[in-house]
Amino acid sequence: MPPAGTGPEDTGTPDGEWLRVHPASPFVRGWVALAAITFFFGRDLFERTLQGQPVFEDGFARRAPWLLGGGAAVLAVAVLGFVLTWYFTKYQVSGGYVRVNTGLLFRQHRQARLDRVQAIDIVQPLLARIFGLAELKFEVADAGESAVRLAYLRIDDARRLRATILARASGAEAGFGAGPAAGAAAHPGPGSPSAASFAPPAPEAPEIQVLSVPPSRLVGSLLLSEQSFFIVVGGFASVVLSALTDNRAFYFYLVPAALGLAASYWNFFNKGYNFTAAVSPDGIRLRYGLLDTQAQTLPPGRIQAVKIAQPPLWRPFGWYRMQVNVAGYGTSGNAVEGNTRTILLPVGKFADVLAMLSLVLPDPGTDRPAEVFAAGLTGRDSDGGFTTTPRRARLLAPLGWRRNGFAATDTALLIRSGRWWRDLVLVPHQRTQSLAIHQGPVARRFRVADLVLHTTAGPVAPRLTQAGLDEARQLFDEQSARARLARKRQTTEQWLRQVVPAVEPAPVPGTPVPGAPYPGAPASEARTHYQQEGQTHG
């Protein structure tokens, strides 16, 4: 067994050997327990010091040996538990899977298929950053929560392991692809280890930064958020009611609201601070965080749906927010963590939106993407080729009937809605899992219906509201056909083999290609359209 905290990339051991996490991992995870023990035994001393009393009360000398013995026993049990937790936590990357074994009395074995990897995050809480450690989180398509969590590894080991897993999941590393040949290489017979089993780790792929969010813009977006609007309205109402009733108790209702708003502000500022987005062959890399830093890697093609939103107070500044559905993210056990991880862009200009869309949807399916997306965000009626709610149903949505509509490109379905709170939802055709038409009694009277697209759980809920009944039925049939055809074209889960066709020679790593988003990537005419039209509409 190699030293703790190392991997095959450090020692040259064969792929598939069981390895342990860093020895300091249980202490980083269990510092709360150590702090609780310290507080329990030191609380009386601290309180007596604050009250100006003697530090040690009468008779303390007789009880000191028992207290010290009890404290030492509790500390020894805690340390022993930490050591055993570390000893029985092992991980392995082999045969197209990443596996983690944990537990002493209650054993747990978790594994994730590499070709189902949806995203990989590197998380560094404040204490882990001090020790130079990081946690790896693997999200897979068929898991309701994080399938695998490796806590903690040295930051360099975590980055190398992430690069190796992404290389194998994407098909960049030979011997770990899908299919019988790959399976034979991953499961060699006794006494005949394959060459792939001893393959060196993949180097971390190069990247190019796409955008960053200035802290001033982040603060401005928080101050102009919906929460701020409602707290101001609530404060104004409290002042008016207090003046009319001569009752100052209304002010106290603002205290929990203000505390909740402050906590919400701090959470979003802490998670969104220093937000940067970059592109690499591995996928979209997002980094953010003030105290606790996080580095997400979203492989291309794993994003199920995208929503671009603009609250009313952001409109004068031209700001937008982008959220995504990714398998595993939307069903995270921690709601705050899940909401943070689904943000693709906390706040940005229209040019930033186009830049991120060029990564999520490299081929927009139209030769004028900026015009179409601008119509989806700010247009009305048939702007950009959208089909809206028929005029006969304007009573159902007097403000939004000219905005509610849809448009389809060769690669995605666009759904827009909202007059004041503007939303634009994009769903790649191959990510449409199923469709449904909903029609209530009032909608039947006006001959309109809602069309619902089902994707993975998350903050994006694609729903076309109040479309004409004939248009909804036609879109249902056409979108079903487009989704079926798009899924047939996707012949492998390995996204790199989808991006780089077999007939195109693989470029030399690190060699820039004209029009490419990162060194070594294939050129994209659609991305050129994004850039040119983004400058025109900017």
pLDDT of residue 510: 38
204-235 tens-digit pLDDT:
778 889 999 999 999 999 989 887 777 777 77
> In angstroms, rounded to a whole number, what is the distance separating the alpha carbons of residues 248 and 281?
61
DSSP state of 316: G
d(CA 194, CA 200): 13
The residue type at 172 = A
Yes or no: say if 369 and 347 are a contact pair by the CB < 8 Å rule.
no
* Length of the chain as a residue count: 538
For the stretch 366-396, pLDDT in tens is 989 999 999 999 999 999 899 999 999 999 9
Q: How confident is the model at residue 425 (pLDDT cuts 50, 70, 90)?
A: very high
Torsions phi, psi for 445 (to 5 deg): -65, -35
* Residue 192 pLDDT > 60: no
Q: What pLDDT was estimated at residue 31? A: 65
Q: Which of 14-18, 54-58, 68-72, 90-94 has the highest mean pLDDT?
A: 90-94
Task: Please give the pLDDT value at position 164.
Answer: 82
Tokens representing residue 8 in the block? 């095959």
Q: CA-CA distances (angstroms) from residue 285 to 97, 206, 355, 422?
A: 22, 11, 13, 27
What's the pLDDT at 305? 94
**94: amino acid identity, one letter:** S
Beta strands 108-113; 97-102: pairing state: antiparallel
Kind and range of the H or E element at 471?
Answer: helix 469-489
Rounded Cα gap, residues 134 and 523, in angstroms: 34
Residue with tokens 């398509």: 141
Write down the pTM of the prediction.
Answer: 0.75
Distance CA 511, CA 464 (A): 44
Average pLDDT over the chain reads 76
Read off the pLDDT band of 178 (50, 70, 90): very low
Check residue 517 and give its pLDDT: 43
Phi and psi at 266, nearest 5°, equal: -65, -40
DSSP secondary structure, 362-409, as one string: SS-SSS-HHHHHHHHHH--TTGGG-EE--GGGTTTSTTTTTT-EEEE-
- Residue 505: the pLDDT is 37
- Please say whether the beta carbons of 416 and 466 come within 8 A: no
Q: Which of 311, 343, 338 is nearest to 221 (CA)?
A: 311
Structure confidence by residue, pLDDT tens digits, 493-521: 555 555 433 333 334 333 333 334 443 34
User: Between 356 and 115, whose confidence is greater?
Assistant: 356
Beta bridge partners of 320: 348
